Structure 1
Amino acid sequence: MLKVTLEQWRMFYSVVEYGGFNQASQGVYKSQSSIHNAVGKIEQSLGVKLFKIEGRKTVLTEAGELMLRRAKLLLEEARDVEAIALTLSRGVETSLKIAVDEVFPRALLYSALEQVSHLYPLVQVEVVESILSGSSELLADDDVEIAISPFHSGAGFNESLCHVVFVAVASPLHPLNTLERKLTLDDLKSHRQIVVRDSSHGAKESQANDGWLKADKRWTVSHFQTSIDMICKGLGFAWLPLNLIEEQLEGGRLQPLPLQENAKRYAQLYLTFKDGDRLGPAAKSFVEALRVQCQSLPEA
């Protein structure tokens, strides 16, 4: 028999989460005495002191810090169990939310979604397009069930899905494409680079400027299509995903830069989700269809 209930651990965690007993009572809609009693029973049952008073603040003891980490894992696991049970009770899910990095080949995405729609025509699908760590953030915040991202998820399932080739390009009339010689990276620094920003709200500056050469001139945009349009008009250069610019290359609106080195770059994309047991039939079908589609891609 367990000495401490899950609800008592939840009350303990709420004191830390909300910053005090009074704040916790308002946050979880429990009386302050109920929360004090719950914490007191934990301390009495386990023989540890969880909190101490410093001035006017209630702070964790060393034992409380350790218990907090364990309690957090326990509560997260309990929520996962309930979520899995809810998925099982519902059968086929009514909706599926997927975060997809904009560089992922659209033809593969559409084909996988078409297969899911054929099997589960009533499932509503929402695709959220993102840049860099945006997909990972959406997954971490439980805004989507599945993410296709260039970053590993901090926890859960991570699978190498495919790689994307980036090509350094500019307009055929851009000065960099009229020098009639091989270019160095130093040649690029005096020209405007078009950078696509990280769509994550918590992106660090280093992520937001991923791929930037420290050029003297820089324009930052939110979507790859904007970058493509600008570069086609001769407004700058960039490394762009090959799968997004094949039409512009064939039509002569974009031209690869004749770099001595680093003319191509490669980005690995990952299929990520938190817990496979929480995925419904439609989500699992999408994952399998995506894997099959990506098997047709050439190796890096």
Structure 2
Amino acid sequence: MDRIKLHDLRCFDAVATKGSFQAAGTALNRSHPSVFAAVARLEQQLGLTLFDRSGYRIGLTDAGRTFHARAQVTLREFELLQSYAEQLAGGEEVVLRIVIGDLCPRPPVLQMLSGFFARYPNTRLHLEYEAVGGPLERLIDDNADLVFHRAEPSDPRFEQIKLSTTAMVPVVAPGFLPFAWTKKVTPEHMRPFTQCVIRDTARRPSSENFFLIDGAHQCSVPDQMMKKELILHRLAWGHLPAWLIEDELRDGRLISIAGPNFPGREEFAAVRRRQHLQGPVAEALWLHLKSWRLTRARRGRIIGAQ
């Protein structure tokens, strides 16, 4: 069998879809005889009769229907390949790698990303989760284009768009403490109790700690939701972002032990590497985040703001 020509395959698909050689020629901006010749050539190459021409209108044979189903898959794949090549030639990223950190309020951020990437169907979103030092390590190692996490504003390696100031509330479940809580509770008071912390996913963990009490027994969990579950079940205490526990604080399932001895605030931001070449989609997302932040700020509803 000689090599199948893409032109002949497209003509065959058009005839099968439109129902006639005349309609296929019009759709392809080709003459009726040229479409007829292309289909005849394809049938000869395949050694198959693809159309039943005995009736008033042509129709696919059984072999033609089976072959057409596979041909449509091939044509779609070729169109995707063409789009992929055009995307590469135009400099538009094929994949954008984004990491969500443990501080990220997921529903609003995921909703924002869904709306943004709907406008860029040729760029695939590669989304992952990391905790503590993991997100920024991904940036440093060039394994991410953008992260939603905390970052030190003075770090010269990064530029960031501040999205919120998130209160990190130290909480316990009712009955966890054997004494009455007051604002005078100190880290020393809490040292005998198990403190729940987020497990660092960085391969090179730093010495930086976040609200850890020296000498306290600790249990580690992969994310904030698991941390909340342990605290609710009186297995530990710990700091949780305020946006995650609004309902539990309101209905008394969790009790805040915040006070002068337990300050806790984190800056939540979109972060990328400074002086790193950004593709057009990554740059569009960065600009979108700036307007998204400003829009929410004007409405007085910056995510997680306290």
- Please say if 1:163 is aligned against 2:165: yes
1:142/1:211 Cα in 2 relative to 1: closer, same or farther (>3 Å)? same
Deviates more, 1:160-169 or 1:180-189: 180-189
Deviations 1:126-184 (A, max 9, x none): 222222221111011111111233234652534444322100111122126x6154442
Aligned to 1:137: 137
Deviations 1:157-214 (A, max 9, x none): 34444322100111122126x615444212211211111132211012x23x431112
Partner Cα separation in structure 2 for residue 236 and residue 162 of structure 1: 27
Aligned to 1:117: 117
Partner Cα separation in structure 1 for residue 277 and residue 216 of structure 2: 48
Alpha carbons 2:101, 2:132 under 8 Å: kept: yes
Structure 2: stretches of 5+ with no match in the other structure: 1-85, 297-301
Aligned to 2:286: 287
When Rg is computed on C-alpha atoms for both structures, the one with the higher figure is 2
Aligned to 1:173: 175
Partner Cα separation in structure 2 for residue 267 and residue 181 of structure 1: 23
Partner Cα separation in structure 2 for residue 124 and residue 130 of structure 1: 19
When the two structures are superposed, what TM-score results if normalisation uses the length of structure 1? 0.61
Q: How many residues align?
A: 211
Partner Cα separation in structure 2 for residue 180 and residue 223 of structure 1: 27
Letter in 2 for 1:279: Q
Letter in 1 for 2:223: H
1:292/1:197 Cα in 2 relative to 1: closer, same or farther (>3 Å)? same
Give the match's secondary structure for 1:119. Answer: coil
Partner Cα separation in structure 1 for residue 284 and residue 194 of structure 2: 44
Letter in 1 for 2:180: L
Deviates more, 1:247-256 or 1:225-234: 247-256
Deviates more, 1:214-223 or 1:225-234: 214-223
Partner Cα separation in structure 2 for residue 88 and residue 273 of structure 1: 22
1:270/1:187 Cα in 2 relative to 1: closer, same or farther (>3 Å)? same
Partner Cα separation in structure 2 for residue 244 and residue 92 of structure 1: 36
Partner Cα separation in structure 1 for residue 139 and residue 128 of structure 2: 11
When the two structures are superposed, what TM-score results if normalisation uses the length of structure 2? 0.60
Deviation of 1:231 after TM superposition, in Å, equals: 0.2
Partner Cα separation in structure 2 for residue 214 and residue 119 of structure 1: 48
1:91/1:168 Cα in 2 relative to 1: closer, same or farther (>3 Å)? same
1:137/1:243 Cα in 2 relative to 1: closer, same or farther (>3 Å)? same
1:137/1:154 Cα in 2 relative to 1: closer, same or farther (>3 Å)? farther
Aligned to 1:201: 203
Letter in 1 for 2:286: V
| TM superposition outliers: structure 1 runs of 4+ over 6 Å | none
Partner Cα separation in structure 2 for residue 273 and residue 87 of structure 1: 23
Structure 1: stretches of 5+ with no match in the other structure: 1-85
Aligned to 1:184: 185
Give the match's secondary structure for 1:115. Answer: helix
1:276/1:195 Cα in 2 relative to 1: closer, same or farther (>3 Å)? same
Deviations 1:218-262 (A, max 9, x none): 2122222221110010011111111122233344332212x4424
